A and B are shown apart, each in its own frame.
Chain A
Amino acid sequence: MANLIDLTLSDLVNKVKSKEISSKEITSTYIDRSKQSKKLNAYVEETFDRALKSSEKFDTKPDFKKKLPGIPLAVKDLFCTKNVKTTASSKILENFIPSYESTVTENLWNEGAILIGKLNCDEFAMGSSNETSHFGNVISPIDDNLVPGGSSGGSASALAAKLTPATIGTDTGGSIRQPASFTGIVGLKPTYGSCSRYGIVAFASSLDQAGPMTRDVKDCALMLEVMSSFDPKDSTSINFKRPNYSSNLNINIKGKKIGIPKEYRVDGMTSEIEKLWEKGKNYLKDCGAEIIDISLPHTNYALPAYYIVAPAEASSNLARYDGVKYGFRADGENLIDMYEKTRSQGFGDEVKRRIMIGTYVLSSGYYDAYYLKAQKVRKLIKNDFDNAFNKVDAILTPSTPSSAFKIGDKKDDPVSMYLNDIFTVPVNLAGLPGISIPAGLDKNNYPLGLQIIGKPFDEQGILDIAYSMEEKINFKLKTNDWWIK
């Protein structure tokens, strides 16, 4: 048998069901490896003891009908987990222990999964390198001193380093797909309304979506199948028929029409990315798909619009962290003084920057010029995609304009940091599903990803395309466990 740690989630599930491996074996193996991997700083909270007990309990009375039978999973620390500290990687929630469970994680546990810990991320999911976390930056297993991307950087790092067989993240402007691309894994952001936002610490409510991060496309389909549900507790949750993504997975994509948007050939894109995209087209052709040039004319306005809408919503969403009810409180002379001190000390620089931008664009006299205009742009971007999807089944783009960068490289240059999200942001603005799959390496052997964007609710379609491409690309993530030795 191959090394347990190298098995995909789907393989593990099968082996548990065929009683080849016990939940405890898997759980303890992942816990041991996680313990050896502290250097990556992927975890912010470990629930190892609890997880071991749960796995023993599972093994005593195993339920093999579950989709994730006794499978240990670490999850991004943006998901509220009952009786387990949930911080959003912020000082302001440093000691916050929810009394409730997010719907998405609840769905995982209901299918037999076991929580082994909470994973580091950018503070309140604001960042593209996991450098804004109050608990320190996360290191990518790809190379020492390399960022894993963000905001789901802990999730990407933990998955790529094999500290968890699969994981989940949240994606507001690329927070699943960009780190997936940087670390050579699969990451999917579902259609807005597919996964419930209930119990997820909110960043930008109209953009936030939870999604799976996995080693391969099949695992991704399985995870999505478990995570996605209609939830009356989230008014933006959509009641549509959710297919069994994993069993429906179809490798045959012959005749599918794939659009290549010319506007995604942006300034500053490396030739490596250019080549990767070209390779992607060829893989698709090899799979029998038809390549069609399309135009998404308002692409250029997506990033500015995103950096108005997202901070606007964030500035309001984060107002509840005021030191009054829960979380960190700094003493003050009076109420206003307490607010100022609590929020000054409790939030990091990037969060403050976005609160200030958001407050500014919503203030009277600026609202029309910024927020309202950004909403109009958003509509135009959605229309661009709608028009494109009249001609094609899906769209292929690079996931990011470059590969992963070194820790500290972009920390003091927010605009260059924000440019990381240039290919992922339009997908959030339009509420579409998008998946990033590993597609190659750059000259430093750092992974590069390709993104497939689908029609609303056509997760199955993009999973099929990804599944088909995956076979042709045959990407193998190589890490030499340098952080353990």
Chain B
Amino acid sequence: MSKDQYLIEKNGNKYEVIIGLEVHAQVLSDSKLFSTSATKFGSEPNTQVSLVDAAFPGMLPVINEFCVRQAVKTGIGLNAKINKKSIFDRKNYFYADLPQGYQISQYKDPIVGEGTVVLDLPSGPKTIGIERLHLEQDAGKSIHDIDPTSTLVDLNRSGVALMEIVSKPDLRSPEEVNLYIKKLRSIMRYLGTCDGNMQEGSLRADVNVSVRKVGSDKLGTRCEIKNVNSIKFMQMAIEYEANRQAELLEEGNAVDQETRLFDTKKNKTRPMRSKEDAHDYRYFPDPDLLPLEFDDQFIENIKKEIPELPDQKKNRFIEKFKLSPYEATILVSDLDTSKFFEKVIEKSDVKLSANWITGELFALLNENNLEIAESPISPENLSKLINLISNGTISGKIAKTIFEIMSKEDKDPNIIVEEKGLKQESDPKALEDLIQKVLNSNEDKVNEYKSGKDKLFGFFVGQVMKESKGKGNPQMINKILKDKLNG
């Protein structure tokens, strides 16, 4: 048991927190799972609704093959077993935004079986088991706050394809949940199967939480926290829920198996329905759809479309570019970041590029709350800036000044260097003149240095730099200065 394990402590008793996630990931597809309606986010209410989506009499679902391919692709990305035969079932319940009175989902025979996701923990990699992935329809949206007396229903989302990805109860802390969601999101973004946008609801999760005393190998009774739509809320909900359950157990009470909601205003979970009130969904195979079947060739063809995934890319970065595992993890964690990095290193030094992206660029993005895809500096121009450093045209210090100018206007750094006259002075003769000038005007310091006050070396460097208006090549200044003072 590692020291940094996440535990809940009550009255001196330590509780381990067991977490499993059901992630609902919207399939990246222009049309819905069983109809040809569009899926664009943010469209006017009820403008992307076909007769099938609104469950008109006699309307029938027809599977969208692209969504099937996306699910298989995701399954492959999760190193999972792909089931060549799966079955669509009806999950029956009544709700105003569920036009059919049932959701078409997969119950006993999902399209994807067991798989794995590897998390990069500070202590090393940890493998999280995937139980299954299945395809299902999303419901519409009930809107309660527009009309004071009625609930309005928007069916744009009705029938949109979702992948429900169920993890095994392998997660042990809010931080692991954070890393798991991010990794899952990253894999799907690499695959192009889900945009992972949590604000738009493309990625949502139900969280199953239970606690048990450290040392016990029996799972405790779990509670399911429904539809938490940000990682932060998920972590808060887990924290609250784990403490609540541990307290119950400490007081000698049992945890009831129930579905709970996370109240984002009070930062608490509260009961939604108990096991007794649980819906009886009356699952049965949808008679409107045949079993979903495909052959090995279908899977092989999809395998050919699988791009390099984060874990493979990370290993390549480490092996080929000698990046540290830490740097590599950061650079591959997000598809756009890795693309940016790979664009920059097409023409620039790898190590410098990694430093500049994870250092200056990330700081700039953070400061302005931007995604890397929105970076004010293009990878091409960053690459040019890095090359100016590598070939000695400018110093690292000047580079930072230019970077700041570039952050305001994405301009070719070569032009900035020209316009502002920031080119590094690397002519030995010119530098020698400068140095001589500094030495001449500081004869007393020169004597002090020569009598053993080595620390003054830095003073001379600074003076020369100042004299060169920051453009002097630092390595050359060092060298010439040393020769002159010691010679």
Interface residues, chain A, with chain B CB atoms under 8 Å away: 80, 86, 88, 93, 96, 98-100, 102, 197-202, 204-206, 232-236, 312-313, 315-316, 318-320, 322, 324-326, 335, 339, 359, 362-364, 367, 371
Could you say which residues of chain B place their CB within 8 Å of the CB of A93?
57
A206 and B99 contact, Cβ closer than 8 Å, known pairs A93-B57, A200-B58, A319-B94:
no
B284 within 8 A of A: yes
List the B side residues contacting A202 at CB < 8 Å.
Answer: 57-58, 288
In the bound complex, residues from chain A placing their C-beta under 8 Å from that of B92 are 315-316, 319, 362
Instruction: Verify A320–B55 contact, CB threshold 8 A.
Output: yes
User: B290 touching A236 by the CB < 8 A rule?
Assistant: yes
Q: Given the complex, which residues of A lie within 8 Å of B95, measured CB to CB?
A: 335
- A362 pairs with B56, CB closer than 8 A: no
Closest to B52 in A: A233
Q: Does B100 contact A (CB under 8 A)?
A: yes
| Interface mask (B88-117 → A, CB under 8 Å = 1, otherwise 0) | 001010111001111000000000000000
Bound complex: CA of A75 vs CA of B62, how far in Å?
Answer: 26
Q: Evaluate contact between B94 and A86: CB separation under 8 angstroms.
A: no
A337 CB → nearest B CB, Å: 12
Q: Does B148 count as interface, using CB distance less than 8 angstroms?
A: no
**Which of these, B54, B101, B151, B290, contacts A319 with CB under 8 Å?**
B101
User: Quick one: which of B58, B282, B289 contacts A80, CB cutoff 8 A?
Assistant: B58
Give the distance to chain A from B447, nearest Cβ to Cβ, in Å: 94
Quick check: B56 and A235 within 8 Å, CB to CB?
Answer: no
Query: Closest A-chain residue to B279, C-beta based?
Result: A364
11 sampled A-B residue pairs with Cβ under 8 A: A96-B57, A201-B57, A202-B57, A205-B287, A233-B60, A316-B102, A322-B94, A362-B282, A363-B282, A364-B280, A364-B282
Are the C-beta atoms of B100 and A320 separated by less than 8 Å?
yes
Most B-side CB within 10 Å, residue of A200, A316, A362, A364: A316
Distance from B7 Cβ to chain A, minimum over Cβ atoms (Å): 37
- Asked if B51 CB lies within 8 Å of chain A CBs, one says yes
Do A235 and B60 have beta carbons less than 8 Å apart? Answer: yes
| Interface presence of B438 (CB below 8 A) | no
Instruction: Please measure, in the bound complex, the distance between the C-alpha atom of A88 and the C-alpha atom of B289, giving whole angstroms.
Output: 23
B231 beta carbon closer than 8 Å to chain A: no
Q: Given A316-B101, A316-B282, A320-B100, A99 and B57 touching (CB < 8 A)?
A: no
Q: Given the interface contacts A236-B290, A362-B282, does A86 sit within 8 Å of B57 by beta carbon? A: yes
Among candidates A98, A232, A233, A359, residue contacting B57 with C-beta atoms closer than 8 Å: A98
Task: Judge whether A324 and B284 touch: CB under 8 Å.
Answer: no
Q: In the bound complex, what is the Cα–Cα distance between A383 and B427 (angstroms)?
A: 95
In the assembled complex, how far is the CB of residue B109 from the closest CB belonging to chain A, in whole angstroms?
14
Q: Is the CB of B100 within 8 A of A319?
A: yes
With the chains together, A325 CA to B62 CA distance in Å? 21
**Binary interface encoding of chain B residues 140-182 relative to chain A, with 1 for a CB under 8 A from any of its CBs, else 0:** 0000000000010100000000000000000000000000000
Q: How far is the CA of A471 from the CA of B280 in the complex (A)?
A: 56
User: Quick check: A325 and B99 within 8 Å, CB to CB?
Assistant: yes
Instruction: Across the interface, name the chain A residue whose C-beta is closest to B90.
Output: A316
Whether B151 lies near A100 (C-beta < 8 A) is: no
CB of B192 closer than 8 Å to a CB of A: no
The closest CB in chain A to the CB of B290 belongs to A235
Q: How far is the CA of A364 from the CA of B63 in the complex (A)?
A: 28
Given contacts A235-B288, A236-B288, A324-B99, contact A197 B58 (CB under 8 A): yes
Return chain B residues, CB-CB under 8 Å to A80.
Answer: 57-58
Q: Which residues of chain B are near A235, meaning CB under 8 Å?
A: 60-63, 288-290
- B279-315: CB near A (< 8 Å → 1, else 0) gives 0101110011110000000000000000000000000
Check A320/B62 contact, CB under 8 A, given A100-B56, A371-B284: no
B290, A312: Cβ atoms under 8 Å? no
Instruction: Tell me which residues across on chain A come within 8 A of B61, comparing CB atoms.
Output: 235
Q: Which residues of B contact A363 (CB under 8 A)?
A: 280, 282
A102 surroundings in chain B (CB, below 8 A): 58
A325 touches B284 (CB 8 A): no
Residues of A contacting B289 in the complex (Cβ-Cβ under 8 angstroms): 235-236
Interchain CA distance A319-B58 in the complex, whole Å: 13
- Inter-chain contact B96/A98, CB cutoff 8 Å: no
Contact code string B455-481 (vs A, CB < 8 Å = 1, else 0): 000000000000000000000000000
